[in-house]
Structure 1
């Protein structure tokens, strides 16, 4: 471990036309100063569970400018690191007329980048992208934001490095065996995930927007009321969920918010009140974030993790599709009533390109969507107790808990999106694109927009995994099920009681691809949206320097009928 007073970061988080936020973790209580565009901004650290953090809010920047920045801790320059081989970390502010460029992906395990780990986990697509960026340091060609759609850390599938830390701390046989227990272990896991030099530099210079998925907490997190009750009956779950949500607020959510939203955040207000008080000691925020985590676990509506971000001519709406669920029998919903009302307010036009981030794909392959709908009806007791038990076992065993398994929520959100696409909520965007991950393969699905009188084309773009590939036999099965289930499951769903037919059809238009990928949605000069998936290849055993390769290019395509696609291209994989 380094002796530097900077433990982790800096992470460049929210960037607007005139503001930016920079997150750091320090070794001790300290004052953190970020110098950018000729001015310095200082923030004091706050403590959580004995660890120390700061979020520096910079508010003096000019629109459309690019400026290097540096970080000092108690007047000691700690970033950029001496002798760094990477370009300077920079802040590129937005312009109102800027066409957005959005990188996105999910599911990234944190293991070494040597031959052995690459054989089992593949090349880290994020690291390959970082190395390519460093070799081509033209900020104007870089994404405006990196959208990380869940499973940045795996709390239930730990690496050898994490296992060794747990063994030294509490032994290998203490519960939960082979999984994280509390905040301290989460802090170590984030250190492993974000400290690799290439990715650390990338996170210091690309603004990032993040949301959790199940493995950030535990596989199948909040699948159903039965799952929730089962986990709460274990002696270790309470400390696990408190550690998971507390660390998520500190490491991920805090940096998601724009300065005005930060000012309204109930937890951040405690930090600011302490700062204004002039107290000499560092604030211990532990009881506040622990209390928040406990409230969120009991009552999803207690706090909102969803948020929005303006991107010039584009807008990102990031949806919490995990903690915001209502699991009460008879009220089952992907989003509780308060969260759904918030989303209803956010889904508006008057923007050229609308991006909707949700860790779980909104448009699954149609056959799998129908399977999840049938299983939900079974599990909720429509066909009797025996079928309900079988349905519950099935949805937990094979992860039938995407939007299709919450039919009421799916139908309502789909109709909201249709209203935006028809221009009934302001001027219709040119494109409405769901950005998702989770399923460990990538694809594009599309609603035939002209058939339904939409003015916006509506697409689902999935990029998963960044680094956690499916075994080859599972890839074959997934590919067969994704397309082969469509007709038989549509037939079964159309004849099943209490399984509604979707108001709009869609189909897979490209994919699936199973590489470790990072995707980029790029608005071109003519206003069209291009999608690209890239991966990393090791050449001549150069595991330290993977080469970026294009897996697929998808341009704006003409779709007149379900399954008919023109104008898409794919490079050989």
Structure 2
């Protein structure tokens, strides 16, 4: 046991975050106030790593290897041999390795803005679904802990400052009357943004004990990031964008990307290999990555084919592929694609058969509600100049104003990926999986969609889309009406308009939104069962003024039977309602049943 700490309060600035976990290894990320040696202690074993520096801050990623499969033990974090985690009076954090005999279970969602968790914060932002999940896992003894948490974008909001402490921090550094005004300007401000977003006690504990996979979306950098060639041209013409994009990608590399990689991938990562080599050399100085990381970030933005943010995870006999659908775009007007040729080739090589279920995480929904898909496809054709320059300018304004920049607005890439998925589902890439499930967020509403009669197209897999958004950032009520109409009542009119033009492509493989949308702040839970998948969306609820103990209610649940399952009852369970008063008797308090 470590001796009592004599370090100053705040020596551990942020973390620990438990990131990559497999059967025999795990990685733990921290940010420290000073240069230090960071040690993780678990079951009598110790693993250490020195900090590295970026823009004056200090970080470490400790690789814990040689672990026992299916083991579950608490761990401690030490700085220079003095314990700093767990905090006094806080519950322990655990590293639970994957069990090859345990069916996978994971959580997913996106879009979580900052804000207090008192009555005022709830009025503005709603109850934080991720924090509610953390409270449940912390306080309910029989709540089952997921194997992984997949955060599908907008982990931080760099284009708004809805937190007084962040605004005060920025004001102390520069004038808010100059660009980029109240938005994040540089790496130091990003650093503070991450600290404030992840330091709330329940969230901090949750991130320390639940492994996570992360990918950015637009607000991690800026709203509408890489919407179009003209958007990128306009941003590059500003005085502040280059510093912003370099800082955004560099801070993402530190705070999110490194933890997505396995120990073997870390050893091969071009910049982190230097961190490992420096540590192995026994050098006494701290390695400063500032200049090299900024250069990597600038290159990754200018030449996205030179660096990959996408990654994969194995979960038992299931495969999770997490796609970068923001930085890897090809925006050239004559060959627009949401994935450039290099990224497309990587995905083509990655989508291989032999897995029971394949999950494709992409921050933007692949299968939008059909009415919205047609709307975006129409806008893309017009914006590309098919109906003249005046119409193109108008369509580009619409595209930016109402965020028409999903897969449907990059139709060539959409079709190419859809063909890959269908090829996988037909068994042409090895044994077909039971299901191919797209996991997405971004749109601030949740729904479930499915490809209609895939067997008619030769597919042996069910192909579905599960969207969970937001974790905490509710959509205005007026926009909810428009989304609901594009999901239901406007589907046929939009299809009619799209079909009237030979330039607007018809989707080759139709799909239907079978359930949704719903607009709660919620987090989704996916459980692999012996008969298929169970997908459940849960929302946080507060009794009276007891904001410290939110609980989870089930918003909706969908069972997706495997193709060999005996039952063909695929309809969702009738347990929905955006407002507790919409269902007789109000919401059901079911934290253990929902999470376990």
TM interval, short-chain normalised: over 0.9
**Structure-1-length-normalised TM-score:** 0.96
- The question of 1:351 aligning with 2:355 is answered yes
536-545 vs 188-197, which moves further: 536-545
Q: Deviations over 1:461-512 (max 9, x none)?
A: 0000000001222212211122222111111212213222111000101110
Residue 138 of structure 1 and its aligned partner are, at CA, apart by 5.2
Contact 2:532 2:561 survives alignment (8 Å) = no
CA distance in 2, matches of 1:436, 1:172: 34
In structure 2, the CA distance between the partners of 1:97 and 1:349, relative to structure 1 (3 Å rule), is farther
2:374 maps to which of 370, 375, 380: 370
Contact 2:19 2:29 survives alignment (8 Å) = yes
CA distance in 2, matches of 1:392, 1:570: 41
Q: How much is the aligned-residue C-alpha RMSD, in angstroms? A: 1.5
Q: Deviations over 1:87-128 (max 9, x none)?
A: x21111113343111200000001110111110100000000
CA distance in 1, matches of 2:306, 2:560: 40
Residue 174 of structure 1 and its aligned partner are, at CA, apart by 2.5
Q: Deviations over 1:169-224 (max 9, x none)?
A: 21321221120100000000000110001011010000000000000000000000
What's the counterpart of residue 499 of structure 2?
Answer: 494
Question: Aligned with 2:173: secondary structure?
Answer: helix
What's the counterpart of residue 201 of structure 2?
Answer: 197
What's the counterpart of residue 9 of structure 2?
Answer: 3
Q: Deviations over 1:304-359 (max 9, x none)?
A: 00010001121100000000001122121101100000000111120111110000
1:61-210 to 2 correspondence within 5 Å?
A: 61-84=67-90, 86=91, 88-137=92-141, 141-161=144-164, 162-210=166-214
CA distance in 1, matches of 2:367, 2:576: 25
Residue 137 of structure 1 and its aligned partner are, at CA, apart by 4.3
Question: Aligned with 2:309: secondary structure?
Answer: coil
CA distance in 2, matches of 1:74, 1:138: 36
Contact 1:554 1:570 survives alignment (8 Å) = no
- The question of 1:428 aligning with 2:428 is answered no
CA distance in 2, matches of 1:558, 1:101: 16
1:48 maps to which of 36, 51, 54: 54
What's the counterpart of residue 336 of structure 1?
Answer: 340
Contact 1:558 1:567 survives alignment (8 Å) = no
Q: How many residues align?
A: 564
Contact 2:114 2:163 survives alignment (8 Å) = no
1:245 maps to which of 231, 244, 249: 249
- The question of 1:29 aligning with 2:38 is answered no
- The question of 1:218 aligning with 2:222 is answered yes
Contact 2:370 2:486 survives alignment (8 Å) = no
CA distance in 2, matches of 1:156, 1:352: 40
CA distance in 2, matches of 1:432, 1:215: 27
Q: Deviations over 1:245-299 (max 9, x none)?
A: 0000000000000111111110111212222232210000101110011001111
33-42 vs 179-188, which moves further: 33-42
What's the counterpart of residue 16 of structure 1?
Answer: 22
Residue 70 of structure 1 and its aligned partner are, at CA, apart by 0.7
Residue 523 of structure 1 and its aligned partner are, at CA, apart by 0.9
CA distance in 1, matches of 2:446, 2:329: 25
In structure 2, the CA distance between the partners of 1:169 and 1:498, relative to structure 1 (3 Å rule), is same
Question: Aligned with 1:98: secondary structure?
Answer: coil
Residue 566 of structure 1 and its aligned partner are, at CA, apart by 4.3
What's the counterpart of residue 555 of structure 1?
Answer: 559
What's the counterpart of residue 518 of structure 2?
Answer: 513
Residue 135 of structure 1 and its aligned partner are, at CA, apart by 1.3
91-100 vs 68-77, which moves further: 91-100
Residue 160 of structure 1 and its aligned partner are, at CA, apart by 3.0
Question: Aligned with 1:373: secondary structure?
Answer: helix
Structure 1 outlier segments of 4+, above 6 Å: none
416-425 vs 357-366, which moves further: 416-425
**Structure-2-length-normalised TM-score:** 0.93
470-479 vs 417-426, which moves further: 470-479
Contact 1:308 1:315 survives alignment (8 Å) = yes
- The question of 1:286 aligning with 2:290 is answered yes
